[in-house]
Amino acid sequence: MSAPQPAAAPKPLFVGDQGRRLTIRDLARAKRRGEHWPMLTAYDAYTAGVFDEAGIPVLLVGDSSADNHLGYDSTVPVTLDELIMLGRAVVRGTKRSLIVSDLPFGSYEESPEQALRTAVRLMKEVGCGAVKLEGGVRSAAQIEKIVTAGIPVMAHLGYTPQSVNGFGGPMVAGRGADAAKRLREDAEAVQEAGAFAVVLEVVPAPLAEELTASLEIPTVGIGAGAGTDGQVLVWTDFAGMTPGRTPSFVKKYADLRGVLGDAARAFGRDVVGGAYPDAEHSFS
């Protein structure tokens, strides 16, 4: 009899060498195992390819592309056609990550039928694996309609940026007993409607932890503390590409803006000074 072998270390989800695209079932299994996993936004093929190769299991074609890629002031103006173009690039640039696409503002609020039409366009034209929309109780009928048609839906609660023009109150959602109760009801509603996961944006950490324990579906936090199943960040924030101030929950893992600016200045100096192109970079 040989000595008992130590149990094989569970393979973290983000290593992601399944040789296929991740699915929502992989995320459900990660929840059962108590694994934490990262998610990043992506708006183009190269960047998405870098994250896919780095083993990020879930990439979001966020409507945050509006203010972080397309130059709008908020997420409100981005159109479905614009998001579809970005999503197609992200899918073309990746092999393994699960691609989730946001439903942009105005493309689902009117009715469950409108929401399904939008989700179907994203599934057909982008080829993503899931869609995401904002709102709890107010969006439950939309979620149910889309899920019933066989399309996985990620919900999004807490601070919901598409409503920025309607917000009068504080940014941190779920603070205080009434707000916490509403957030719990929203979370229950989206799970009941069939969402496979739920984003909790700018929510007090203890409440996000409580929801993560009470819900069967994975939670994905952004500014919601360490207790959620997944963590998502806007890629330009985590990589130091966003100009100016970023939300306080962001940790900057690189200074891409500095690196790229330095490269551009060096190229400019070389061209002006005659150092580029040199013989090595010319044809004789």
Ligand X SMILES: CC(C)C(=O)C(=O)O
Ligand Y SMILES: Nc1nc(=O)c2c([nH]1)NC[C@@H]1CN(c3ccc(C(=O)N[C@@H](CCC(=O)O)C(=O)O)cc3)CN21
Which of 161, 194, 221, 230 binds ligand Y (CB under 6 A)? It is 161
* 104: its two tokens: 């942009």
> Which residues ranging from 221 to 250 are in contact with ligand Y (CB under 6 A)?
234, 236-237, 242, 246-249
Q: Is 75 in the site for ligand Y (CB under 6 A)?
A: yes
d(CA 70, CA 12): 34
The SS3 of residue 84 is helix
By beta-carbon proximity to ligand Y, the closer residue of 228 and 242 is 242
Nearest approach in angstroms of CB 121 to ligand Y is 22
Which of 26, 67, 144, 229 binds ligand Y (CB under 6 A)? It is 67
Report the candidate in 89, 88, 124, 121 with the shortest Cα–Cα distance to residue 104.
121
Q: Is 282 in the site for ligand Y (CB under 6 A)?
A: no
Nearest approach in angstroms of CB 130 to ligand X is 13
d(CA 88, CA 272): 38
Q: Is 158 in the site for ligand Y (CB under 6 A)?
A: no
Report the candidate in 201, 198, 180 with the shortest Cα–Cα distance to residue 189.
198
Nearest approach in angstroms of CB 93 to ligand Y is 21
201 part of the active site: yes
Q: Is 47 in the site for ligand Y (CB under 6 A)?
A: no
d(CA 275, CA 284): 17
By beta-carbon proximity to ligand Y, the closer residue of 165 and 248 is 248
Neighbours of 194 (CB within 10 A): 18
Nearest approach in angstroms of CB 247 to ligand X is 10
Report H helices in the chain: 24-33, 45-53, 65-68, 80-92, 112-121, 140-148, 177-193, 205-214, 235-238, 256-273
Catalytic one among 201, 209, 210, 280? 201
Residues annotated as catalytic are 201
Q: Which residues bind ligand Y (CB under 6 A)?
A: 64, 67-68, 75, 159, 161, 171-172, 202, 234, 236-237, 242, 246-249
